[in-house]
């Protein structure tokens, strides 16, 4: 039976304040479920849709562009702004950059931003040193469009129980197979083509940040295994927002929406948005 990626979308109808949640590249809405439910419980309407070409196959995932992702997120934002008086954007990793981008393009529509582990540089402590060679390789189309990077421990998680659950699946995964669990945990392989699209998008957002005026709350783990705290500070110092907060997490890795301090992330984001 053909898979329908849209069945993984979620929409929780709440009050007049709405939040558009954006999952990370190669990720799924599952990584935003806990945060979405917590925000809904706090009174917000919450929407999170599968990004284009995600939750399908690796061959499809390889084809995604940052422009496609932007187009889909713009449609989601427009859907919310038609029906709700106040709309916020929040995203994880590359999704955090998209949340910032939307606030730049639509300053009248985005009232606040939640940047969760914003990722401009893959410079965390668990990133292989050889990754410094990636920019030399991704300019070669054949390599960029075929090479896969297998996700490795700790998978962005300090929570050992959750990490073991994911590790059992990831270590057994085969690139030619796409098990339904990929839709729960995200792709066990990171296509280099996605990394290339991410890099292109960082250049766009870097130029836009000084012009962003919406209030922003930034969350980042001090021990983020994929992207160092430098990324959060990069946003904090460059974004043009007058109202901005940086929350440093002391007991999490990269996947802060599902890791050990997920409750703190949800509570502080809800409080920040409620005050706007």
Q: Average pLDDT for residues 188-213, to the nearest whole number?
A: 91
Please state, as a whole number, how many other Cβ atoms lie within 10 Å of the Cβ of residue 199: 16
- What pLDDT, on a 0 to 100 scale, did the predictor assign at position 129? 64
Alpha helix (H) ranges present in the chain? Answer: 30-41, 58-61, 66-83, 94-105, 134-137, 141-146, 160-172, 181-185, 192-208, 230-238, 262-274
**What pLDDT is attached to residue 7?**
83
What is Dmax (Cα atoms) for the chain?
51
* Residue from 97, 163, 95 nearest 126 by CA: 163
**8-state DSSP, 104:** H
Q: Which of 101, 95, 21 is nearest to 266 (CA)?
A: 21
* CA distances in angstroms from 207 to 69, 87, 220, 243, listed in the order given: 19, 23, 21, 20
- Domain 5-274: which topology? Rossmann fold (3.40.50)
- Measured CA to CA, the distance from residue 173 to residue 47 in angstroms comes to 30
Residues 6+ apart with CB under 8 A from 110: 77, 87, 88, 89, 102, 103, 214
Quick one: pLDDT at residue 130? Answer: 56
Residue 141 class from Cβ within 10 Å (0-12 exposed, 13-18 middle, 19+ buried)? exposed
pLDDT digits (tens, 9 = 90+) for 157-196: 999 988 887 777 666 655 455 555 545 556 667 788 888 8
How large a percentage of the chain has pLDDT more than 70? 83
Average pLDDT over residues 55-77: 93
Task: Kindly report the average pLDDT of the chain as a whole number.
Answer: 89
- Tokens 């998680």 correspond to 157
Rounded to an integer, the average pLDDT of 53-60 is 85
CA dist 156 and 187 (Å) reads: 13
Closest CA to 181 of 160, 165, 159, 161: 165
- pTM of the predicted structure, to 2 decimals: 0.90
Confidence (pLDDT) at 1: 36
How far apart are the C-alpha atoms of 274 and 276, rounded to whole Å?
6
In angstroms, rounded to a whole number, what is the distance separating the alpha carbons of residues 8 and 63?
20
């Amino acid at each position: 039976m053909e898979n329908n990626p849209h069945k993984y979308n979620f929409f929780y109808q709440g009050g007049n304040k709405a939040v558009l949640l954006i999952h990370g590249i190669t990720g799924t809405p599952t990584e935003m479920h806990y945060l979405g439910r917590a925000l809904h419980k706090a009174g917000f309407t919450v929407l999170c849709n599968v990004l284009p070409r995600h939750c399908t196959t690796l061959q499809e995932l390889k084809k995604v562009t940052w422009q496609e992702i932007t187009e889909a997120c713009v449609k989601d934002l427009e859907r919310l702004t038609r029906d709700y008086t106040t709309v916020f954007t929040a995203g994880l990793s590359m999704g955090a950059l998209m949340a910032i981008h939307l606030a730049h393009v639509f300053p009248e529509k985005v009232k606040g931003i939640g940047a969760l582990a914003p990722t401009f540089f893959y410079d965390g402590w668990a990133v292989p040193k050889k990754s410094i060679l990636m920019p030399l390789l991704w300019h070669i189309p054949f390599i960029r469009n075929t090479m896969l990077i297998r996700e490795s421990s700790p998978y962005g998680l300090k929570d050992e129980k959750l990490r073991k659950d994911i590790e059992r699946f990831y270590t057994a995964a085969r690139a030619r197979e796409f098990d339904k669990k990929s839709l729960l945990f995200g792709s066990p392989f990171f296509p280099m083509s996605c990394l290339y699209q991410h890099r292109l998008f960082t250049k766009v957002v870097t130029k836009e940040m000084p012009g962003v005026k919406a209030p922003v709350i930034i969350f980042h783990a001090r021990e983020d295994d994929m992207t160092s705290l430098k990324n959060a500070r990069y946003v904090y110092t460059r974004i043009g927002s007058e109202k901005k907060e940086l929350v440093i997490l002391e007991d999490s890795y990269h996947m802060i929406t599902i890791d050990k301090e997920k409750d703190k992330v949800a509570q502080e984001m809800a409080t920040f948005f409620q005050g706007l």
